[in-house]
Structure 1
Amino acid sequence: MRRTQLLAGSALLLIAAPVSAETLKDALLKAYNTNPTLTAERANVRAIDENVPIARADGRPALNLTGGYSEALLQGPGTNSINSPDRRTNADTQLTVPIFTGGAVRNSIRAAETRVDAGRFGLRGAESDLFTAVVGAYMDVIRDEAIVGLNTQNVRVLDVNLQASNDRFQVGDLTRTDVAQSQARLALARAQLQTAQARLISSRENYIRLVGDEPGVLDTPPPVPGTPAGVDQAVEVALQDNPSLLAAQRSRDATAFDINVARASRSPRVGVVLGAGYFNYLGSLGAGSGVDVGSQSGTTGTAGLSLTLPLFQGGRPAAQIRQAQARRSQSIEQVTEAERAVVANTRAAYAVWKSSEQVIASAETAVSANRLSLEGVRAENSVGNRTILDILNAEQELLNSQVTLVTARRDSYVARFALQAAMGRAEADDLGLEGGALYNPVTNYDRVKNRWSDRGRDVDPQPVATRTNESKPQGSEVTRPLDPILDTPVDRDAVNAPSKRP
């Protein structure tokens, strides 16, 4: 009877995954389209793009229109209306065309363009970091579901053990100590199950935070492609292709142009100035003087060159140059910092991957051995050679090895993907995401880089990322079947058999 109940309970863990199970690629695509960290980084890159037309504007013609109206409220003695008319209105237009700026405009443009490159590399790094986090969250849910399933299975086994121990105690085959040991171990197993369930709920909520949707039933992830020949090759590739390192390098390069911009503030500036004006005294010129002053209005036109030669600016240019040099020094150190991080992350991911692969092999062996050991301990208990505590310990050792196997599989996959990310091979283009055109930052740059209009604007910003406030609270139900090596039902009939003590 109890065996039938136990096997039926174990069968509840083997829920067949529906055809509509969500794949890892589905999760990555959802995150790619709706994650706020990534959509915000795209907006940041678009803002960086605008620095190029802003820099170019300093080298383009500037046209200004000024106008005014004045009326004399008080005229002193001897004031002549010919020299000081009572009313005046004027409008003046001036066109200034920069000819020479000491290299300030040219270097500002090159600095802005270099930072555009850095922004694009930063966006690639944000994609890579997000995908690594999504893979981790995806595998966390799979791992924690399996651990909940294993702990549920363990609770059911220990519950049957306790019932059997009580029955054997009633017939005098076991002592009160045996029953207490079974009770204690069952209580501990239930506590471990509750902890595992809480961890599963936390993993599912984290999945929603990153992906924007509930995990549902997750499919087994595909193998991670690409295998470096060794850790040295992985580091070599990472130093060439890691997007975060490339972003830091381009930001460093931009600071060299910033220094030239600061130096240009000490250089002369030359420009062509064209002006046109209109004035009108509104009949007040010569009023009351009896003198015919002719026309009360007129137009003017001017053309010339403007020269600005800085002689003394209170130390501002020197301070700006020193500041730009310090910023460059900072960016140089930041490149070294980024390089260190890339080397460390690559080596660490490689080590975790290789170690996890070895742990998987050892854990698989341990699970098989512990399963046989448990069967042997139960058989030996039936003839009086093993105690109830031996059975409980064997059950726990089997559970521990199974959890170790599940955890190692998760760690291996995540480390393998993190290694690819460190090598610059875990971006949207590398993953073959399907679901429409991928975001291309060059499109916006080409759209704005040569714009001249002062009246251009984009539509008002609207939310792109999806909110998760209406997602339902996650539970700890198991939706995936246990791997056959993890689902290890054992014949429990021996539990009820009286020991054959001499």
Structure 2
Amino acid sequence: MPGGHFHRWAAGVSLAMLVASPVRADTLREALMQAYQTNPTITGARAQLRATDENVPIARANGIPSLDATGGYSESLKSATNSYLTAPRQATAGLQLTVPVFQGGAVKNNVRAAETRVEAGRAGLRSTESDLFTRVVAAYMDVILNTAVVRLNEQNVHVLQVNLDATNDRFQVGDLTRTDVAQSQARLAQARGQLRDAQAQLISSRETYISVVGTPPDNLQSPPDLPNLPGSTENAVDIALRENPQLEQARQALKAAGYDVNVAEAGKLPKLSVILGGQYYNYLGSLPPLAVAEGVDNGGNSATAGVQLTLPIFQGGRPAAQVRQAKALRGQAIEQATAAERQVVQDVRSAYASWQSAQYLIRSSRSAVDANRLSLEGVRAENSVGTRTILDILNAEQELLNAQVQLVTAQRNAYVAGFALLSAMGRAEANDLGLDGGGLYDPTLHYKDVRGSVWDWREGDDAEPVATSTTDTPAQTSNVAPLGEDETLDLGVGDAGE
């Protein structure tokens, strides 16, 4: 899916501003960008991919000429009586250049396996990114949902308190009984307990938001509509089988396992190298007089050149065991690819069903809210003429509250399920969500930088923290803005896809 499909998220928001100043996560796009830049799960996955990149130059090094220098010093503590020409001291220095010519294909296949695993690692990073965004969306919507539930429960407590006061007044004049008062008191106590539970849930969701996003939630706005949701389960599965990053990672791992078999088979093949060497020696002026008289030099040098052929004949069964092992691991990779495919199909179908169910529940809950509101008005009117009891009013108020909570919960579930469906399809990554703009992480830059590196002393910079700490964030509370009189609470999430 082109990144432009989600560019509506970016309306009025400049990525340069996000990078230049602290991010206030008051829109879903800002929350996603904040998590993308500072969440330790994604920053750790990037570091892991950079480590995977290094396997390519490590594999290539086995096919590159190597140069070794040697040096030594020796001194004879006691010379044999027949060693009248041997110097008691000697210093040596040497160089040897080894040029691999043929390694049975091991180097070539090792490099291909490493490169393929880099591709698998990039797919894994995409999967981590998509999973993180799904967690951000869930945390964002949970804060909005639990804020709404607290407001509804606070409003319910207020209404029940007014009811209890009115019931007490009517009891004082003999219009109602002690039973009516007790019923109102019981319902108010129950509502206060429900409010405390809702407040605890709100605090928990706000702390979860901090853990995922990195900053406290601040006046979260209604999220934008989810674009390009599929029209059928079959369409969603078809897209996922082409674009899901977890499935791509499993397929690349299977391809790399095939190269591993070729590497193992190379253990039975001949190896050929060209060797060039040179040596310098110096007796440090310690030659015996007789050796000097014979014309032996105090120092000198030598050079050698040759070809080294290694032909394995018997290795105790190790090469065959390594080949069998590699084939078994490839068999495992085959099964893991099938398992990944099954999981993708399950995830897509389940997310699609949840999304559809939640949309239906939104429609039915809205009808239930309207009907319960009308019913409550009628029960109150009938109570004023004596045809309904206080308990009837209390029950009608509770049914309205339940319907309202069910509505906002269904709205939250529909949005989260819709985003999870996009994630399972492979269409919930930074580019898909319109987070591009110059600040996105490019996983190819490090690979291009190190792939051809042959310098032994280029060790790179020490690791530094990237993700931000949340220890300084304030403990969250359950404070919310109260509902206005006759205000209808709605999460602002439409029936996406209808």
Deviates more, 1:429-438 or 1:398-407: 429-438
Alignment of 1:336-485 (within 5 A): 336-433=338-435, 436-479=438-481, 484-485=487-488
* CA shift for structure 1 position 460: 1.2
Contact 1:217 1:479 in 2 (8 A): no
3-state DSSP class of the match of 1:351? helix
Q: Show the counterpart of 2:32.
A: 28
In structure 1, C-alpha distance between the alignment counterparts of 2:295 and 2:151, rounded to whole Å: 104
3-state DSSP class of the match of 1:370? helix
In structure 1, C-alpha distance between the alignment counterparts of 2:330 and 2:292, rounded to whole Å: 72
Match of 1:96 among 88, 95, 98: 98
In structure 2, C-alpha distance between the alignment counterparts of 1:289 and 1:23, rounded to whole Å: 90
Q: Show the counterpart of 2:4.
A: none
Q: Show the counterpart of 1:486.
A: 489
Q: Show the counterpart of 1:7.
A: none
Q: Show the counterpart of 2:222.
A: 220
Q: Show the counterpart of 1:140.
A: 142
In structure 2, relative to structure 1, the CA distance for the partners of 1:452 and 1:352 (3 Å cut) is same
Q: Show the counterpart of 1:151.
A: 153
In structure 1, C-alpha distance between the alignment counterparts of 2:489 and 2:271, rounded to whole Å: 78
In structure 2, C-alpha distance between the alignment counterparts of 1:241 and 1:180, rounded to whole Å: 61
Q: What does the per-residue CA deviation read over 1:265-313, in whole Å, with 9 as the maximum and x for residues that have no partner? A: 1111100100011011122333466743331110001111011112222
Q: What does the per-residue CA deviation read over 1:366-413, in whole Å, with 9 as the maximum and x for residues that have no partner? A: 000000100111111111111111111000000000000000000000
Larger radius of gyration: 1
Contact 1:29 1:435 in 2 (8 A): no
Structure 2 residue 68 is matched with structure 1 residue 64: yes
In structure 2, C-alpha distance between the alignment counterparts of 1:255 and 1:396, rounded to whole Å: 61
**TM-score computed with the length of structure 1 as normaliser:** 0.90
In structure 2, relative to structure 1, the CA distance for the partners of 1:429 and 1:479 (3 Å cut) is farther
Contact 1:22 1:215 in 2 (8 A): yes
Q: Show the counterpart of 2:48.
A: 44
The aligned length equals 466
Gaps of 5+ in 2: 1-23, 491-498
3-state DSSP class of the match of 1:275? strand
In structure 2, C-alpha distance between the alignment counterparts of 1:273 and 1:280, rounded to whole Å: 24
In structure 2, C-alpha distance between the alignment counterparts of 1:323 and 1:161, rounded to whole Å: 76
* CA shift for structure 1 position 341: 1.1
State the Cα RMSD in Å: 1.6
* CA shift for structure 1 position 21: 7.7
Q: Show the counterpart of 2:243.
A: 241
In structure 2, C-alpha distance between the alignment counterparts of 1:372 and 1:481, rounded to whole Å: 19
* CA shift for structure 1 position 81: 2.9
* CA shift for structure 1 position 229: 2.0
User: What amino acid maps onto 1:204 in structure 2?
Assistant: R
Match of 2:184 among 182, 185, 188: 182
3-state DSSP class of the match of 1:273? strand
Identity %: 59
Structure 2 residue 84 is matched with structure 1 residue 86: no
Q: What does the per-residue CA deviation read over 1:317-339, in whole Å, with 9 as the maximum and x for residues that have no partner? A: 12211221121111111111111
Structure 2 residue 57 is matched with structure 1 residue 53: yes
User: What amino acid maps onto 1:311 in structure 2?
Assistant: I
In structure 2, C-alpha distance between the alignment counterparts of 1:295 and 1:338, rounded to whole Å: 72
Alignment of 1:198-347 (within 5 A): 198-287=200-289, 291-347=293-349
* Divergent runs of 4+, >2 A: 283-294, 434-437, 479-487
In structure 2, C-alpha distance between the alignment counterparts of 1:441 and 1:338, rounded to whole Å: 23
In structure 2, C-alpha distance between the alignment counterparts of 1:453 and 1:212, rounded to whole Å: 39
In structure 1, C-alpha distance between the alignment counterparts of 2:174 and 2:111, rounded to whole Å: 92
Alignment of 1:155-170 (within 5 A): 155-170=157-172
In structure 1, C-alpha distance between the alignment counterparts of 2:126 and 2:292, rounded to whole Å: 80
In structure 2, relative to structure 1, the CA distance for the partners of 1:284 and 1:231 (3 Å cut) is same
3-state DSSP class of the match of 1:64? strand
User: What amino acid maps onto 2:52 in structure 1?
Assistant: I
